Structure 1
């Protein structure tokens, strides 16, 4: 009886918390179909006229479709580069931590704490003719996020026993086969973790495209949403975040 009462109370608390979280989302969703005058009241009442054109306006004028594809392109390509390079580098460094390898490891992970110098970075991109290019922003994201990814991957790979490497070599594996056929299957958890973390980091980033992409056709979702909402604010039109 006591356990049942505790279970009921727990369910009621969970229900109340869920309503608190979902209620603002419901208000925003319903108001997204209203006119500007109705939406300003921010109530749960149904709109007198369902204005579906609100979504059409946002998608077309806000360039959300192209910016969504840009964001997917930047995040996917940069993360693939990060995962491939970091996995290989972490394996080599973890298996041979002497001399230049140890120095390179600490040099790279120091990028976690060192702030980005945008002036110097802009000069480098200008020399390489990568300013305002998709390949430039992809390489930029990859370089910025490699330090943390290497730190995480190195710690994981270092826990894999060296005896596995020795057994694979005795069985005739070359260094490439050792990495691809033996190590990669074992480090899939950290590869997945790095992929998700860095994908979300790149997807949510705002400053890099703001500084290095001056063409709105190449903007990712974050910058396109900000630009469109700022445009509406200047015109005095209420913007509904739920549209994004």
Structure 2
């Protein structure tokens, strides 16, 4: 067997395995999209068939109608408000904190860095009750503030990610900028920020995913249905005391994934660049 034939066979095997793995990973999404076009009574009876016997597009209209006069347009709007503001806060202020830890010397710098890193190891269940009590003191319950305000103090994972970029940027650039009359703030905006754009874009993508899919925090802090994001609104379809509208549930779940899919395909290259590249390319 020639070398070219061996290489061809290896490629065919590799592509075959990738296709199988891709099919396994995508099957739940395909099943969900298919179920959104079936009658609610047939979703689980005919679960093994991906192609519906009768295409029921009315599930999307019924699901979009929402509950109690609140359409899913309101829930989409709420999710975009929470996700957008929280993402902006987490990315911008994580960059500021990362710059401070990387470039500015201050008393207790190492101690506060260790404290910040330790917060990454705390599970949400451990801080859930203390945070609720604190936000209750602030009278923030049933508002978006508990979901948005903490992001404006930075996210430890994003801070650490951006610090790795900033540390690869030569300090000679800072010194040259100071000779030209730049202060600390000017150096950050004119030198550092343009060079850490890949890291900031990566943080933006991850933050958007996490906030868009967040269920526990809105469940704890929000009480008024008009303020619910999509994650809580989808739960309203399931009613143990009556018949669940499975068709509408899967229809709205399919629509709720569209923003994530669009953002992934548009910015997927930034995920790789943000993690694998350094802050300064030679």
Is 1:55 matched with 2:63? no
Corresponding residue for 1:211?
Answer: 220
How many angstroms does 1:186 deviate by?
0.9
Offset from partner CA, 1:204-229 (integer Å, 9 cap, x none): 2211111111111111111111232x
Choose the corresponding residue for 2:72, options 61, 64, 74. Answer: 64
Give me the whole-angstrom Cα distance separating, in 2, the residues matched to 1:152 and 1:24. 32
List alignment gaps of at least 5 residues for structure 2.
254-282
Query: Matches of 1:182 and 1:45 in 2, distance apart?
Result: 53
Q: Which residues of 2 match residues 96-175 of structure 1 at below 5 A? A: 96-115=104-123, 116-143=126-153, 146-175=155-184
Query: Aligned in 2, Cα 1:23/1:153: closer, same or farther, shift over 3 Å?
Result: closer
1:18–1:100 distance in 2 versus 1, CA, 3 Å: closer
Structure 1 residue 42 and structure 2 residue 28: aligned? no
Q: CA, structure 1 residues 112+9, in 2 after alignment: closer, same or farther (shift >3 Å)?
A: closer
Local SS of the residue matching 2:49: coil
SS of 1:158 mapped into structure 2: helix
TM-score by length of 1: 0.83
C-alpha separation between the residues in 2 aligned to 1:161 and 1:186?
A: 11
C-alpha separation in 2, matches of 1:45 and 1:110: 46
Aligned position for 1:197: 206
Do the aligned residues in 2 keep the contact of 1:112 with 1:147 (CA within 8 Å)? yes
Segments of 4+ moved more than 6 angstroms: none
Match of 1:82 among 75, 78, 90: 90
Which deviations, in whole Å up to 9, do the C-alpha atoms of 1:103-125 show, x marking residues without a partner? 33233333212344333222221
Give the secondary structure class of the aligned counterpart of 2:236: helix
Distance in 1 between residues matched to 2:199 and 2:215, nearest whole Å: 26
1:109–1:150 CA contact under 8 A, matched in 2: no
CA contact (8 A) 2:219 2:232 kept: yes
Q: CA deviation at 1:52?
A: 2.1
> Do the aligned residues in 1 keep the contact of 2:89 with 2:151 (CA within 8 Å)?
no
Partners in 2 of 1:89 and 1:28 — Cα distance?
41
TM-score by length of 2: 0.73
Deviations 1:135-193 (A, max 9, x none): 332113555x6222222222321222211100111122122221111111011111112
What SS does structure 2 have at the residue aligned with 1:131?
Answer: coil
- The structure 1 residue matched to 2:233, chosen from 217, 224, 233, is 224
- Counterpart CA distance in 2 for 1:114 and 1:89 is 20
> Does the C-alpha gap of structure 1 residues 76 and 168 become closer, same or farther in structure 2, counting only changes over 3 Å?
same
Compute the RMSD of aligned alpha carbons: 2.7
Which residue matches 1:32?
A: 36
Relative to structure 1, is the Cα distance of residues 37 and 80 closer, same or farther in structure 2, using a 3 angstrom cutoff?
closer
145-154 or 171-180: which moved more?
145-154
